Structure 1
Amino acid sequence: MDLPPLLAAVERGDDTSVFEFLEDVRSDEFTGDDGITLLAAAAYAGRGDVAWELVVRWEVDPTRPWAGGIDPVTWAAANGAYWVLNALLSPDRDPLGVDSAHRRALRVARAALESGGGAGVVPPPAHRAVITYLEAKLGVHRMPDELMARALVHADPEHDDWFESLCRIAEPESQERFDWARAVVADAEDAGELDRRRFAFAVINFLGFGLNPHNSNDAPPFTRDAVELLRPRLDTEQDPYALRAVVAAFTGYCSREELPAVLAHADHPDPGVRQCVALAFPGLLADRPDALAAVLRLADDPDPVTRTSALYRLTCSPVDVPALRTVLAAHLTDTHFDARLEAAVALALRGDERGAAVIEEIRRGIKNRSSRGAGRLEDLHHQLRAHTAGM
């Protein structure tokens, strides 16, 4: 294993290069000290995806001490390294064992939080997310109010504490959890508390994802209640983050006939709101010229993520009109790789050779399954096969 360039890529956060380097390493090279050194470097750099790849795919031993005798699980729990700890614990098949790594990690994380470990660190460590995750694994389930309180310590929607609390509250897809979130929305609006309102709308959005694997219903029992709550907020919500959750949640709960209500935000100044609108029309573009026009406009959005989302939505649509092909062709030279690839995929699915030529150019640059675009082109391969079979 050529360790120095791998370590350098890890330290600069270049996960794409790391994964490509890893594809060229023999599997037996991960069993020695180099594999442990690389895993430790990924953990110290906060590269959770790399740690997961090393532990899950390449079977680097997550129990072997790092340099200086550092225990990996103890280090991750003490430092609130949420995603790294997830990777380290992934092979543990017995979290409920008396001496399990999960129990040890929970003790360490609680002690670190009580001692104020990581105070002043930027970004703040995710001890509360670690504790919430480990408690759930060990069968300790907290009430929504406590989970929300953990999320609101930092009140950052991008923080792991926020994300983990959302997941645990939304895991039982139930009328009771929806009623709780609806009550929080009302209380937060009355009190003018933005963070609580943001969190409650995010919970309602997550509840629509169907996180409970035991729920076999096509639609949650509170679907109409959610629509009635969210519809007026499309017109009144002023906070961009809360509005993103409102648009995304309304899209998931409403009927096809109600969906065009989100079009009012297609030109919203916040790119995250525009992205939610771009993704809102999976099967309606053929029936709604106004929706198609909005998505075509968003495909030219200055924000690359919003633009890519709109191009992806066009990829998924059966619509094929000259205006659509003109927009797609214009993005075959897009400076944003994902937008360029999505435009090419959309054209290729419509039998347009211009898209096929760009895809072939991208394919020539793919070295292995970790190369940029490899996964999307594999999806395209299956889509084209399904399309050909249906003809």
Structure 2
Amino acid sequence: MDAQLLTAVRAGDARSTDALLRAVPADVLAGADGSALLRAATVAGHTDVVATLLDAGVDPNRIWADGTDPVSWAADHGLSELLQELLRSDLAPWRKPLREDAVRRALDVARRWLGVDPARELRRRLGAAPDEPVVVERERIPVTDSGPHATRIRVRAADGRFAEVQTSHRAIVTHLEGRLGTPAHPDELLARALHFADPGSCDWVESQTVLTDGRDPEETFRWAEKLVAHPCVDTRRFAAEVVHRLSFVERPFQTRAVEVLRPRLRAEADPIALDRVIGAFAEYTGSGDPTDLLPHARHPEPEIRRRVAGELGAALGDLRTPSRSARTPRSGDIRSDVVAALIVLASDGDGPTRANALLALAESDVDTAQVRDLLTARLADDDQDARFQAAVGLALRADPEGGRALRRIGAGAGDDIRLAERVHWAQRRLARRATERPPT
């Protein structure tokens, strides 16, 4: 085996791996050497490299020397994202398809973890004696850059040996059941999400995904609406999030959802559940009547103020429509109480709240001296997103200071690719809008 290729795989260098693989014959990649490379990438947890190897023709069904296969190994160690990459082989015709028996083996492996204590099982795997001291480390880690997270548990013996696992086995079981066409009952999916009761975790998110994407939406809504006022706060959080996720497309139960959510806006005391309720209510109503949201603009938790600031923008006009570029306020449509709330939120002590409020005002049809003064003042905001939204808002109002501020932000972006791209697209949008503006 090429030592340079193995080094790139172990280092997680997907680009070098891809380049070096081009010199390896297809029959070699499909055989023992390819399997050894896949094992090295899998054990190291390099999902990108695993994808590169599979794309090159490495066989994910090939059993390793210890009798384990890649899918079962990933399932055993709770590596949900890596396992899903292995499962994607069926979606890419250039990859070798994964056999169903490999999926079933992985499901059996993951299910074994559902009945054990992870730290105790890791201690057993280390072979630690009952009275032998070990250190148990727990760390929350992101599974992807913007996706769910997991908890990694590592048990370390005094001599330095350790065993570790990510506690995502319930998510893996849920995903594999769905793949095999045997999804669990909603109550079981709820129980899996609540085992660790960690919103945003793989277990939580996968149960949500199966409920909202893999089942009849009306049936799921009828199940969830009974739980949004449940005595258990974790159950309320989960149910409110299900109702929220169901709101992203038009539903026949929209009116019923509003009826269920409106009293929860007044009664929900938990900030996490309330955040989901506000989001769902705003989606189902289109924020056309923000009356029920306005009281929460003064909520003590910044997460709620951020949510309200983000949702109130839908109650205002939109500058993205070229025909409204003359900046004539629609006095009959604009609610002064919404504008007043957003102005207050744009000076909130929480940076993301200010940014959300400034975004709503920047994109709105509201063009008053007070709003322009506010946008100008926020060009010096401590929060980068807030500064950016203030600059865009002024530029949309044909204020030259907005364009100058955008150029300064772009020039100072440095290695921040995300910020540079945002400035670039904002400037392109403004240039396009200038050519579309109707003559006055």
TM-score bin (small chain): 0.7 to 0.9
Aligned to 1:79: 77
Q: Deviations over 1:259-286 (max 9, x none)?
A: 2210000010111111111111343225
Aligned to 2:218: 175
Aligned to 1:377: 423
Aligned to 2:341: 294
Note if contact 1:63-1:73 (Cα within 8 Å) is conserved in structure 2. no
Written as runs of structure 1 = structure 2, the 5 A alignment for 1:149-188 is 149-171=191-213, 172=215, 174-186=217-229, 188=230
Change in Cα spacing, 1:30 to 1:319, as seen in structure 2 (3 Å) is farther
Distance 2:289 2:195 in 1: 36
Change in Cα spacing, 1:28 to 1:243, as seen in structure 2 (3 Å) is same
Aligned to 2:107: 106
Q: Deviations over 1:209-241 (max 9, x none)?
A: 23xxxxxxxx21111111111112222221111
Q: How far apart are residue 362 of structure 1 and its match?
A: 3.4
**Residue 234 of structure 2 aligns to a residue in which SS?**
helix
Aligned to 2:237: 198
Higher strand share goes to which structure? 2
1:285 to 309, 316, 321: 316
Check if 1:276 corresponds to 2:276. no
Deviates more, 1:147-156 or 1:250-259: 250-259
Q: How far apart are residue 200 of structure 1 and its match?
A: 1.3
Q: Deviations over 1:269-305 (max 9, x none)?
A: 1111111111113432251121122122222222222
Distance 1:318 1:42 in 2: 52
Under a length normalisation based on structure 1, what TM-score does the superposition of the two structures give? 0.75
Check if 1:142 corresponds to 2:184. yes
Deviates more, 1:256-265 or 1:196-205: 256-265
Change in Cα spacing, 1:31 to 1:114, as seen in structure 2 (3 Å) is farther
Q: How far apart are residue 342 of structure 1 and its match?
A: 2.7
1:318 to 365, 374, 378: 365
User: Which amino acid in structure 2 is aligned with residue 185 of structure 1?
Assistant: V
Distance 1:137 1:59 in 2: 21
Aligned to 2:253: 222
Change in Cα spacing, 1:137 to 1:62, as seen in structure 2 (3 Å) is farther
Note if contact 1:315-1:343 (Cα within 8 Å) is conserved in structure 2. yes
User: Which amino acid in structure 2 is aligned with residue 150 of structure 1?
Assistant: R
Q: CA RMSD in A?
A: 4.2
User: Which amino acid in structure 1 is aligned with residue 345 of structure 2?
Assistant: L
Q: Deviations over 1:166-220 (max 9, x none)?
A: 121122463221111112235x2xxx2222122111111111123xxxxxxxx21
Change in Cα spacing, 1:300 to 1:344, as seen in structure 2 (3 Å) is same
1:329 to 376, 379, 382: 376
Note if contact 2:42-2:74 (Cα within 8 Å) is conserved in structure 1. no
The structure with more radius of gyration: 2
- The structure whose RCO (Cα within 8 Å, separation 6+) is larger is 1
Q: Deviations over 1:244-263 (max 9, x none)?
A: 11111111112655322100
Q: How far apart are residue 385 of structure 1 and its match?
A: 4.9
Distance 2:367 2:41 in 1: 48
Change in Cα spacing, 1:59 to 1:363, as seen in structure 2 (3 Å) is farther
Q: How far apart are residue 382 of structure 1 and its match?
A: 5.0
Distance 2:427 2:87 in 1: 34
Count matched residues: 356
Aligned to 1:304: 351
Aligned to 2:409: 362
Note if contact 2:228-2:236 (Cα within 8 Å) is conserved in structure 1. yes
Change in Cα spacing, 1:311 to 1:159, as seen in structure 2 (3 Å) is same
Aligned to 1:250: 281
2:268 to 208, 233, 237: 237
Distance 1:311 1:101 in 2: 51
User: Which amino acid in structure 1 is aligned with residue 276 of structure 2?
Assistant: A
Change in Cα spacing, 1:300 to 1:104, as seen in structure 2 (3 Å) is farther
Unaligned 5+ runs, structure 1:
11-20, 45-50, 211-218
Unaligned 5+ runs, structure 2:
24-33, 121-135, 141-150, 152-166, 318-333
Distance 2:20 2:347 in 1: 46
Note if contact 1:347-1:354 (Cα within 8 Å) is conserved in structure 2. yes
Aligned to 1:214: none
Distance 2:313 2:48 in 1: 32
Distance 2:38 2:409 in 1: 34
Distance 2:21 2:359 in 1: 37
Change in Cα spacing, 1:389 to 1:195, as seen in structure 2 (3 Å) is same
Distance 2:44 2:418 in 1: 20
1:352 to 399, 408, 417: 399
Distance 2:41 2:385 in 1: 29
User: Which amino acid in structure 2 is aligned with residue 176 of structure 1?
Assistant: E
Note if contact 2:409-2:423 (Cα within 8 Å) is conserved in structure 1. no
Change in Cα spacing, 1:365 to 1:110, as seen in structure 2 (3 Å) is farther
Aligned to 1:28: 19
Distance 1:301 1:207 in 2: 31
Aligned to 2:161: none
**Residue 131 of structure 1 aligns to a residue in which SS?**
helix
User: Which amino acid in structure 1 is aligned with residue 298 of structure 2?
Assistant: D
**Sequence identity, in percent?**
36
Change in Cα spacing, 1:270 to 1:334, as seen in structure 2 (3 Å) is same
Change in Cα spacing, 1:78 to 1:265, as seen in structure 2 (3 Å) is same
**Residue 280 of structure 1 aligns to a residue in which SS?**
helix
Note if contact 2:14-2:49 (Cα within 8 Å) is conserved in structure 1. no
2:45 to 37, 43, 46: 43
Change in Cα spacing, 1:264 to 1:92, as seen in structure 2 (3 Å) is same
Q: How far apart are residue 116 of structure 1 and its match?
A: 4.0
Note if contact 2:89-2:97 (Cα within 8 Å) is conserved in structure 1. no
